[in-house]
Structure 1
């Protein structure tokens, strides 16, 4: 199984990618709207197809990317049926098995943080994705959005602590850089519900907490009840100056050689190789007018780069030209891309 834990620094949210190399199918748990491009880039580079997006609850601190990912890939959207979210394809109930080919999960209702919280247990009980019900040495708050501390206590102790000690715990958030725990650890050491804590201990702790109102709750909750669909129902605009434009998981905008050969007159070509590497006549005729500025000089000579057309950076393998796009964007140029794979594909074509 392919497994990746991804992080959104703005909301301290973990997104989880689970995929099967045999079927090529994948699912995402708790994707963040602003990170949709990153997630799709990783899925593409790993040779997977996104088939399902599932949220653990209606988040109050970020907007889910579920609807946006569905528009881009045709994947299905799943979350707890009790949330009654719009655009939902797979409403989940307690005990229901779901997933993609090669990856099977069991949905367990774990309300208390919100009444629509669910945790997802891998079929072999080796992993559990606990949302905000159980965090690492903590748990989700229970003072808003249908929260109930007593309910949360029973969700954790009866649904989650019934899993094997070595079952790995992957929460929806962590604010201290911790990435995973285990059921055994949390049963013993969780600061709120671990050790010999009983319901009265836990409820007393939760009721004595004084936490600020979530900053994005007024925006996030209504949007998440629409599965992340914007109020206007429109996909946010993206750069469209090249049909072949893609952004890699490393964050590099790229276009392919076929597109470039057909549309070289629509861009400024920037060759960032050293002068001694450039062989006269080596490039196809349509690329022969490339501006040449070595990468180590680009910051000092960036004003020489025309800004009336998008800029495509070139080098031998596409590595130096990738850094060149970052330098250009630092200087305020937005329509930039690196030639995918560099000049090697053209030399071998």
Structure 2
């Protein structure tokens, strides 16, 4: 398996490039519109063909590059079940496995940050958590039909039951962290350590964070796979 983590400095967004080395078929997870040229060049340099663009959810802080990449490469756009994105070619269900040669990408519903969100477990070793579980944190739950209780349940009952050695690759990081593990997050994540479900809900409901700067632009655009109205 080929795996790379790419970064957009303006929005602190991680994009992930995954490929089956035998078939040269590639997958991009959580692409960024402003980085389409970079990603396309990198994929070409490696001799890969982009087969799929996956989203963990409909983002509020950046516009996806999936629609543009579909125009350029013919790749298939996939969003989580329940996402309000009629533009997508497919919606992936909880438990569904996308098989790319020897690479297995399993969708795990992780609702709570939004009401349509999945994490992707790649070959049972690399977990792309989107905005659900972050490194020493978690996604906010105060817009896009977020639900703090649902997020707590999904992270503690689904993600934290994976092997402690599972690598955690988040959708964002604002402090320079790139990767963690399930074992580390269970031990050190301050949003969860020493907190029960009620404590977590109280904490999340009182964060009082400002809205993402691009929310009014990004959400409608991402419902169109990043394409202009």
Aligned to 2:66: 66
Preserved CA contact (<8 Å) 2:87 2:223: no
Higher relative strand content: 2
Max Rg structure: 1
Aligned to 1:336: none
Aligned to 1:146: 145
Change (3 A) 1:139 1:107: same
Q: For 1:1-349, what aligned pairs fall within 5 Å after superposition?
A: 1-123=1-123, 125-193=124-192, 195-231=193-229
CA shift for structure 1 position 99:
4.1
Q: TM-score, normalised by structure 1?
A: 0.65
Separation in 2 of the partners of 1:35 and 1:122? 23
CA RMSD of aligned residues (A): 0.9
1:97-155 deviation line (CA, Å, top 9, x unaligned): 114223211101101000111100113x2110000000000000001110111111001
Separation in 2 of the partners of 1:84 and 1:201? 31
Change (3 A) 1:99 1:221: farther
Separation in 2 of the partners of 1:212 and 1:32? 22
Change (3 A) 1:99 1:67: farther
CA shift for structure 1 position 229:
1.4
Q: Aligned with 1:202: secondary structure?
A: helix
* Residues matched between the structures, number: 229
Preserved CA contact (<8 Å) 1:27 1:99: no
Q: TM-score, normalised by structure 2?
A: 0.98
Higher relative helix content: 1
Which of structure 1's runs of 4+ aligned residues deviate more than 4 A? none
